[in-house]
Structure 1
Amino acid sequence: MSTTGSVPVSLAEIARIAGVGRAAVSNWRRRHDSFPTRIGGTDVSPQFSLAEVERWLRDNGKLDAIGGRELLWPRLEALGSRDESGLAIAEAARRMRSPQARASLAGLTPEAKKLAVEAAKLGRDEGARETFEFLLQRWLETHVRQLSTTPPPLAALMARIGFDVRVGGCDEGLTVLDPACGTGHLAAAAVQEYADPGLAVLACERDPALAALASARLAFVADGHDVRTEVATADALREDPFAGTRADVALCNPPFNERDWGYEELATDQRWTHGLPPRTEPELAWVQHLFAHLKPGGAAVVVLPPAVASRKAGRRIRGSLLRTGALRAVVALPPGSAQPHSVSLQLWILRAAPDGPGAVPPGQDALLIDATRFARTGTRESGPHWEPLRAFVLSALKALDRPDADLPDGAVRVPLIELLDDEVDVTPGRYTSASAEPSGRELAAAWKEVGAVLTDLARRAELLSELEFEADRPQTTASVGDLVKAGALSLRAGQQPSDGTASPDKGSVPLLTVADLLADGAPSGFVAAESAPVIAEKGDVVVAGVARAFKAWVHEGPPTALGPQLHVLRVDPAKLDAHFLAGCLRAPSNGRQAGTHASSASRVDIRRLQVLQLPLEEQAAYAEVFQSLRDFETHLGNADRLGKGLVSDVSDLLVAGGLDV
């Protein structure tokens, strides 16, 4: 495949092209004088010519097992325009499916069209759908800050809810509508969750590049199924291309907080049966747009920011949706379920009144479901715990039309009389927290757990109390600086990443800072791997070099970038035991003697920290005791947390008059 010398690639991209880690590329660069020279970027994030890199990799036999997708992507990215590269990928997908196609999508430059033709040929050689999904995913990762997508697990959950909640009608010939489809995640999930004969999936997107990609994606997903798909390029609120269509299921992840949604020109629109949405409530315009497109008994599932559930401006519309039975349930999702990842988004589930006998009357209780407890914390993996979250939500929704059915913890039926107050707040946490008091069985289990932790603490305390120390045994120490000079370890200081923080994706690593240590100790941000000057690997010793957060530990987690005032020590295992080193370094007296003592913000000179000089076999015995002390400290913290929780729960029960006297 031909390449262009002006196309720049980073060290991380070279690693992906060659199928190796970034460290391997750095080693090639140091060891081989023939490695291409830098053509741009910075010393921390250098860039190289793709043509020269490809030639060097081929000449050195490092491209034997790698396909052409990784070589193609940098050239697509070098087009410089998000829309142009997106349209080129969509055009490539169209040509993969129709090799004889002549006319091209509008808006393509000659260079983009040439790349689309090459990508189509590559797809026919290496797998059309796989090549398209690869290029689409790389495009989405590159433009993650400009695009809002629906993660596949959330899209699948929404589609399943829509099909489960709808009532009436036949199971064949269903219609699904997504009026703001983006790149088609929800529409594709509908096909995958319910690909029965006669299914029609209609979607709309105002961005031409996104609409073209959604159309290409649906064409691949629907391949082999009796499914009709159609993607229109239009603003669904202003120019509804499916105005006369009624859907069995409507799914949507609409744009949030858009003030220019058509308030003036749509003031008298017939879709606003529950009231004209205020200018500041565009999300309620989308809610009513979806509801207006439902067949009798049809269901809509929409992703909304949590403020929509309680903002004063939308109170009247929320009240009308509840009184008429349109709004049937609200699900609070854990943070990280979709963009913006820091917010606990909500799913609103609406249903049009079904026709005929047995129709559900308006004015029923609303089902509020709080699923925020399924958040995933302290791990590199993004998103919540999807499998238990999905099971919990679907289980709770089975009781939607069964007033006598039991609800799982975290779900509650709220009578309309309680919701239709001055606020009409439908935030699940406001109502589920009141019913979250522990049962007698749960309280007994909590006491049992505290007892077990205290018993374990007592056992550990007894073992540690039996340690004996020789007061007169002379000991010699060496500073960290001396150990570095002797080659027993290497020392690197963390730095602020040059490119700032990033989103949690495949090309990023967690970023740990001193502020994180002062909070809960878990990394709170991510940074692109290629812009992280210092990364702690498993088995490294990490030291915080500031007095107020001074600590040292052996890193056991995934590769993690270190911010300023954090240091990584990598030991020579033939000379030092990592757990022994960490134990010596974190002794409070060690930190005090190596600090400046000027204030709590004073720095600790890592090179001045002292380490016992012991043979390797004796280090292991010390390391075991150091680890026992760390375990004791951890269990002590658990006992404190569990004990405070029990005190809080029992106090609440006592105040509620629950004591059996």
Structure 2
Amino acid sequence: MSDTSPTVAAAEIARLAGVTRATVSNWRRRHADFPAPTSGGTETRPVFDLGEVQKWLRGHGVQSADSPVQRLRSLLRSDVDPASVPTLIGQIGADSSPVHAAVNAAIGVVGLKQTLDTLAERGLDAVPSTGVYPTDHPVAALMADLLAASASLPRSSILDPACGSGTLLIEAARIGATSLAGQDSLPVQSARTERLLSAELPGVSVDIRTGNSLLADAFPGEKFDAVITNPPYAQRDWGADQLALDMRWEYSVPPRGESELAWVQHAISHLVPGGTAVVLLPPAVASRTSGRRIRMELLRAGALRAVVALPPGASTPRQIGLQIWILRRPDRAASEDSIFFADAARLPHRGDTQPDWQVLADRLIDSWRYFDHGDTEAATIADFSAVVRVMDILDDDVDLTPARRVRAAVDTGSVASSAHAAVALLGEHLAYLRDTAATLEVWPAGSGTALRTATVGDLERGGVVRIVSSSTELADSDAPVRPVLSARDLLSGRGPSGLTGPGVQVSSEPIRDGDVLVSRFRDDHGAAQGARVAEGEDVGAVPGAGVIVFRTDPDRMDPWFFAGFVGSPDNSAAMVGATTIRLDPFRLRIPNVHPVDQKPYAEAFRRLHRLRVAAVHTADAAQRAADLIGTGLTSGALEPPTKDE
């Protein structure tokens, strides 16, 4: 630990003052007396003396949003080396230094978990995170509930060989585990998890160890009733050469590019006969050619019992749809000739990507329970789950992608009724689209006189409009979960499709009713950038990295007038870049029109927006109806109408 004064970065100043990082940047540009950067930072990430910043904030009338957690963050950054954080976690309760006192103060205000998260932030500063992702709580809870619904041995002892912050082990305790074991390659993670579980689960035996589970298994030869884990993905240095003759590879030696299948076999090796493992994996593991041999052997042995596809966005990394594999260490008395598949990505969603977790969990857990208890008929749900014979999968590919198997198991009655319902819904959308189009009267010809315009930069200096947020930051682990509006949502005319969470870049200020939302990027077809006024489900969401939020003075600039002219031909000059075309918001030009004269334009732009939204919903309904009718015709659930019908 050093004797230097605590320092803070721009993001920490923003938290301290309760503003955005863009505001801090403006302070630095506009106020000559703003504290100068100190040594220890970089040109792109300067740091400032905490005392000087606090003095400047007080001098300029800025009420500090200081808190014990923020003070702790500042002390950790200035006084604590990341490598010493595990030791600091082990010394919680001591008061021998200012840092220990700050830790104790934070615990007194926000509790142990949030304080440990703050300590871990510092401990992980120097650690690359490629392939390592936290397990979102809904997914962790679902994995534990699937384990609880299994027809296997009692689950009193559970191992997580890549335990991270302990999310899955906490869920394991919820379903009744009395002995928890975990291992993580990062000392800060194992120290953090050990401390948290020991404090929050006093009646449970906790044993957390440090080390790389594949290269240095901390529990050699030990067997557990169950394993639940979210292992690292796409590891290239997992030890393929050193572990070529390892006894854990009962189902064939994992190729260098199949680290995930090494983790799968590691999990099985720690199970008692009949024990169950629930593993979260990327979807490529189900179909990569290099893993075909291991997938085949897992199926032949009856070790792989289920593959469940989650929708993209359900957990980090959010750009892909992860899968849950359920495995069981074969018991010689058992003979398995079928496997359970579920495609949860086909369930109704909130927005574009977030599933309805209650519907997903209820349906999936019930279906899995029926299957694992032998009722294959009850386990099969049209367009959601299927039970497939192992011999039907053992082809040249051994492709375990759930969508491929679920689509092949068609319930003709369900398809027919769904198709009829989809056609009826399409009719409703078509009627609404016609009604919306009917509001667009015959438009009188214009005079052709160009309107006098001003740039957004000029309007901002005049206080007519301001850019709410032009920068983003990683969402804090203790922040409430909010919907996230992406640039793609704007371009497609849909509502927020994501959720905040660790590792998601978002603005710290939520969207308000009447804000003007603009995509920073041009869409794939070269169309004008998406722009609309926030209303309905937009309000309260946070803008993602590709979204610019403008807030107008409504007495001087109608939001819909502003949003409509963002897409004008004159604003093509505001699009810059060669390969990635993006918007420079300060170069946008908006007509300088009296507020009274803005109203007709604003109402017209609002009608056009409703027409675009109606068109998007109608197109979605048409695609859904066409897909179901096509499935019905090819499966025999529907027949083409005769000429007399």
TM-score by length of 2: 0.79
Match status 1:254 vs 2:237 = no
For the 8 Å contact 1:376–1:383, the answer to whether it is kept is yes
1:554 aligns with 2:509: no
The equivalent residue for 1:578 is 559
Q: Are 2:415 and 2:628, in contact at CA under 8 Å, matched by a contact in 1?
A: no
1:480 to 454, 473, 482: 454
Q: CA 1:336–1:615 in 2, change beyond 3 Å: closer, same or farther?
A: closer
**Segment of structure 1 superposing worse, 478-487 or 415-424:** 478-487
Asked if residue 157 in structure 1 is aligned to residue 163 in structure 2, the reply is no
User: SS in structure 1 opposite 2:48?
Assistant: strand
1:75 and 1:620 map into 2 onto residues whose CA distance is 53
Mark the CA change 1:451 to 1:115 in structure 2 (over 3 Å): closer, same or farther: same
Instruction: Tell me by how many angstroms 1:415 deviates.
Output: 0.8
Q: Residues 30-81 of structure 1, C-alpha deviation per residue, up to 9 Å, x if partnerless?
A: 8987653443768986532113224455678867874322111122134575
1:415 is the counterpart of 2:392: no
Matches within 5 A, 1:376-395: 385-395=356-366
Could you say if the C-alpha distance between residues 79 and 235 of structure 1 is closer, same or farther in structure 2, counting changes exceeding 3 Å? same
Q: Does residue 315 of structure 1 match 2:292? A: yes
Question: Does the 8 Å contact 1:476/1:613 carry over to 2?
Answer: no
**1:75-119, CA deviations, whole angstroms, 9 ceiling, x for partnerless residues?**
21345754333x155224xx33xx59xxxxxxxxxxxx9465334
Residue type at the aligned position of 1:630: H
Alignment check: 8 A CA contact 2:283 2:321 kept: yes
Q: Is the 8 A contact 1:310 1:423 kept in 2?
A: yes
* Residue aligning to 1:278: 255
Give the drift of 1:14.
Answer: 1.8
Alpha-carbon distance, 1:266 to partner: 4.0
Q: How does 1:246-645 map to 2 (within 5 A)?
A: 246-353=223-330, 361-373=334-346, 385-400=356-371, 401=373, 402-408=375-381, 409-435=383-409, 439-465=415-441, 469=444, 477-481=451-455, 484=458, 487=462, 489-490=464-465, 517=491, 527=505, 539-540=515-516, 542=518, 548-551=526-529, 553-556=531-534, 557=538, 558=541, 560=543, 570-584=551-565, 586=567, 611=591, 613-616=593-596, 619-645=598-624
1:291 is displaced (CA, Å) by 1.6
Q: Distance in 1 between matches of 2:581 and 2:591?
A: 24
Q: Is the 8 A contact 1:536 1:555 kept in 2?
A: no
Q: What displacement does 1:550 show?
A: 2.8
Give the alignment partner of residue 204 of structure 1, picking from 179, 183, 188: 183
Aligned position for 1:186: 168
* 1:117 partnered with 2:100: yes
- Residues 204, 234 of structure 1: 8 Å contact kept: yes
Please tell me whether the aligned partners of residues 516 and 563 of structure 2 are also in contact (alpha carbons under 8 angstroms). Answer: no
Given that 1:166 and 1:298 are in contact with CA atoms closer than 8 Å, whether structure 2 keeps it comes out as no
Q: Report deviation, 1:328.
A: 0.6
| Structure 1 range deviating more: 451-460 or 258-267 | 258-267
Residue 190 of structure 1: SS of its match in structure 2? helix
Question: Mapping of 1:34-49 within 5 angstroms?
Answer: 35-39=34-38, 47-49=47-49
Does the CA-based 8 Å contact 1:491-1:567 persist in structure 2?
no
Q: Deviations over 1:226-256 (max 9, x none)?
A: 2110112233334433234321111122233
Where in structure 1 are there 5+ consecutive unaligned residues? Answer: 101-112
Given the superposition, is the C-alpha separation of residues 283 and 63 from structure 1 closer, same or farther in structure 2, using an over 3 Å criterion? same
C-alpha contact 1:207 1:233 (8 A) present in aligned 2: yes
Is the 1:447–1:646 contact (alpha carbons within 8 Å) kept by the matching residues of 2? Answer: yes
Cα distance in 1 for partners of 2:277, 2:549 equals 51
Q: Distance in 1 between matches of 2:456 and 2:279?
A: 62
The answer as to whether partners of 2:533 and 2:563 remain within 8 angstroms in 1 is no
Q: Secondary structure at the match of 1:449?
A: helix
- 2:305–2:327 contact (8 Å) kept in structure 1: yes
Kindly indicate whether the alpha-carbon contact (under 8 Å) linking 1:329 and 1:349 is maintained by their aligned counterparts in 2.
yes
- CA shift for structure 1 position 481: 4.5
Greater C-alpha radius of gyration: 1
Q: Which residue of 1 aligns with 2:70?
A: 70
Distance 1:636 1:84, change over 3 A: same
Equivalent residue number for residue 105 of structure 1: none
Distance 2:164 2:548 in 1: 43
Within a 5 Å distance, the mapping from 1:10-159 to structure 2 comes to 10-22=9-21, 35-39=34-38, 47-56=47-56, 66-78=66-78, 81-85=81-85, 87-92=86-91, 95-96=92-93, 99=94, 114=97, 117-123=100-106, 125-126=108-109, 128-130=111-113, 132-136=115-119, 138-139=121-122, 145=129, 147-159=132-144
How big is the shift at 1:213?
1.8
Query: Residues 602, 347 of structure 1: CA spacing in aligned structure 2 closer, same or farther, 3 A cutoff?
Result: closer
Contact kept? 1:330, 1:369, Cα under 8 Å: yes
CA change 1:365–1:129 in 2 (3 A) is same
- Looking at structure 1, the residues matched to 454 and 549 of structure 2 have their Cα atoms a distance apart, in angstroms, of 12
Structure 1 residues 458 and 366, CA, compared in 2 at 3 Å: closer, same or farther?
Answer: same
Residue number in structure 2 paired with 1:222: 201
Task: Give the whole-Å Cα distance in 1 for the aligned partners of 2:214 and 2:134.
Answer: 19
Q: 1:494 to 1:571 in 2, by over 3 A?
A: closer
So what's the TM-score if we normalise by structure 1? 0.77
Unpaired runs of at least 5, structure 2: none
Partner in structure 2 of residue 104 of structure 1: none
After TM superposition, give the deviation of residue 349 of structure 1 in Å.
0.5
The amino acid that maps onto 1:16 is R
Tell me if the contact between 2:255 and 2:290 (Cα under 8 Å) persists in the aligned partners: yes
- Shift of the 237–389 alpha-carbon distance from structure 1 to 2, 3 Å rule, reads same
Alpha-carbon distance between aligned partners in 2 of 1:625 and 1:520, rounded to the nearest angstrom: 20
Report how far residue 648 of structure 1 moved: 4.4
SS of 1:347's equivalent? strand
Whole-Å Cα distance in 1 between the matches of residues 585 and 98 of structure 2? Answer: 54
Alpha-carbon offset, residue 190 of structure 1: 1.3
Structure with the bigger RCO (C-alpha within 8 Å, sep 6+) is 2
RMSD of aligned C-alpha atoms?
4.8
1:342 aligned partner, one-letter code: Q
CA distance in 1, matches of 2:586, 2:51: 44
> Do the aligned partners of 1:537 and 1:560 also contact (CA within 8 Å) in 2?
no
1:646 maps to what in 2? Answer: 625
Give aligned-pair identity as a percent.
31
Distance 1:276-1:449 versus aligned 2 partners, 3 A rule: same
In 2: Cα distance, 1:206 partner to 1:263 partner: 17
Deviation at 1:414, TM superposition (A): 0.9
1:414-442 Cα deviation digits (max 9, x unpaired)? 11111112222212122123346871211
Contact 1:175 1:247 in 2 (8 A): yes
